[in-house]
A and B are shown apart, each in its own frame.
Chain A
Amino acid sequence: MSSGSGNVQNGPAVSTSSKKSLRVFSDDIWKNKTAKINAELFTLTYGSIVSQLCTDFQRDFNKVNDQLFAMGYNIGLRLIEDFLARTALPRCDTLVKTSEVISKCAFKIFLNMTPQVSNWSNNKDVFSLILDENPLSDFVELPMDASKELWYSNILCGVLKGAMEMVQLDCDVWFVSDVLRGDQHSEIRVKLNRILKDEIPAGED
């Protein structure tokens, strides 16, 4: 299980030919098609990676953030294939639909959670994902020196970035708040820079 992400140039909305809602469609995949592991094992594995990175980078948390992002990016590049193979959702035609697919489908399938999509910019190219819960950061308390700099779950941003790039959406993804830092909720901001039209595979209109 790992975090996942998204889809596509302005992502797919309703599942393919069958007229099931995206939510039912994703629920089904999560329940019936996805092999699962113990949540503590997952959480502790991620935790030990982050804390080891903090040690390795001599507690330079900006470097740790970058490293987590880079790791996530590489995961995203690969994970998108899994996501597409599982769902075969068609291409989304607006970023609004993409955001729905990310929250209701990708997060659901890979992390069994459904972040809320909100805070749209006026021209609909920037949105926020509000994470009510975060399986990566169960049990975690940030050490004092890290609480202003470290984005503990920064790997998620990398995954989103990598996965969206593979479906020709050039995005910036970053954390703006995190409950671990004492904020009200955890919020990931996603900004669409441009659609990589040249790289869209031939055959899609």
Chain B
Amino acid sequence: MAIQTVLIINKSGGLVYQRDFLASSTKLSSNDYLILAGTLQGVTAIASQVTPKALQISGSNLSKAANETEYSIPYAGPLGVKDQKEDMGSFLPPDYFTDSFASWSKSGLKHVTTDQFSLFLYQSMTGMKFVAISTQSSTSNMAVSFAENFLRKAYCLYADFVMKNPFYEPEMPIRCELFDKKLTEFVQHL
């Protein structure tokens, strides 16, 4: 699975970051990307609204344990982390995290698949959305959890190199060279 594009969408649905990693044949204009971001935001909201009420109620009635396993994403290995000596910002090597973790979005949009590509979406509790578009159609659970692992690591990079950059204004488009560099390295070592 090759990552073609990574998008970051802020909590109000604005596109704050977009980067292509492959010279793909289909280039969207920046305006199209903005529309895509807004659409994803809207679809996520709708998805959680069309979740059958019955499911929501039974979900909240289930025991905690059942709930947790259901939404827990297994740890998928070091992914793009090269070796133990790598500089990982404020995180100590060998990896950003080594545990399974819960997904914050229980009824929101998570992935979209066509025959040509897959789109994965990871949402943070603050409402930031991290989107990865990959070049192959994958529907397996493994691919999904792999993608969530990847995107959570992208979130770690974002926390370090964007949020901790004192000159970055929250909610604004991300123009941080360091973040670009780290994310590119990360994607290329996948």
Flag A84-99 by CB within 8 Å of B: 1 or 0 each: 1110111100000000
Flag B98-140 by CB within 8 Å of A: 1 or 0 each: 0111101111110000000000000111111000000000000
Interface pair B99/A201, CB less than 8 Å apart: no
Asked whether A201 and B164 contact (CB < 8 A) given A34-B92, A166-B126, the answer is no
Chain A CB within 10 A, most for which of B97, B105, B159: B159
14 contacting pairs across A/B (C-beta < 8 A): A7-B125, A17-B69, A34-B91, A84-B155, A85-B124, A85-B159, A88-B104, A91-B125, A201-B127, A202-B44, A203-B48, A203-B104, A203-B105, A204-B125
A-side residues, CB < 8 A to B, are 7-8, 12, 14-18, 32-35, 77-82, 84-86, 88-91, 166-167, 199, 201-205
Interface pair A78/B170, CB less than 8 Å apart: yes
Q: Does B163 have its Cβ within 8 Å of any Cβ on chain A? A: yes
Q: Does B188 have its Cβ within 8 Å of any Cβ on chain A? A: no
Interface pair B106/A205, CB less than 8 Å apart: yes
Interface pair B126/A167, CB less than 8 Å apart: yes
Contacts of B102 in A (CB 8 A): 12, 16-17, 88-90
In the complex formed, the residue of B with least CB distance to A83 is B159
Contacts of A91 in B (CB 8 A): 104, 125
Q: Does B72 have its Cβ within 8 Å of any Cβ on chain A? A: yes
Smallest CB–CB gap between A16 and chain B, Å?
4
In the complex formed, the residue of A with least CB distance to B128 is A81
Q: Does B77 have its Cβ within 8 Å of any Cβ on chain A? A: no
Interface pair A17/B105, CB less than 8 Å apart: no
Separation of A77 and B166 alpha carbons in the complex (Å): 12
Across the A-B interface, the 8 shortest Cβ-Cβ residue pairs: A203-B108, A17-B72, A203-B105, A202-B45, A88-B101, A201-B127, A85-B159, A16-B102
Interface pair A33/B101, CB less than 8 Å apart: no
Flag B12-44 by CB within 8 Å of A: 1 or 0 each: 000000000000000000000000000001001
- Which of the residues B92, B107, B152 comes within 8 Å of A88, measured between beta carbons? B152
Separation of A18 and B41 alpha carbons in the complex (Å): 30
In the complex formed, the residue of B with least CB distance to A16 is B102
Separation of A15 and B64 alpha carbons in the complex (Å): 12
Interface pair A201/B60, CB less than 8 Å apart: no
Contacts of A33 in B (CB 8 A): 91-92, 96-97
Interface pair A201/B107, CB less than 8 Å apart: no
- Which of the residues A12, A16, A34 comes within 8 Å of B90, measured between beta carbons? A34
Contacts of A90 in B (CB 8 A): 68, 71, 102, 104
Chain B CB within 10 A, most for which of A15, A78, A80: A78
Interface pair A18/B100, CB less than 8 Å apart: yes
Smallest CB–CB gap between A171 and chain B, Å?
15
Smallest CB–CB gap between A191 and chain B, Å?
21
Interface pair B69/A85, CB less than 8 Å apart: no
Asked whether A82 and B160 contact (CB < 8 A) given A203-B104, A205-B56, the answer is yes
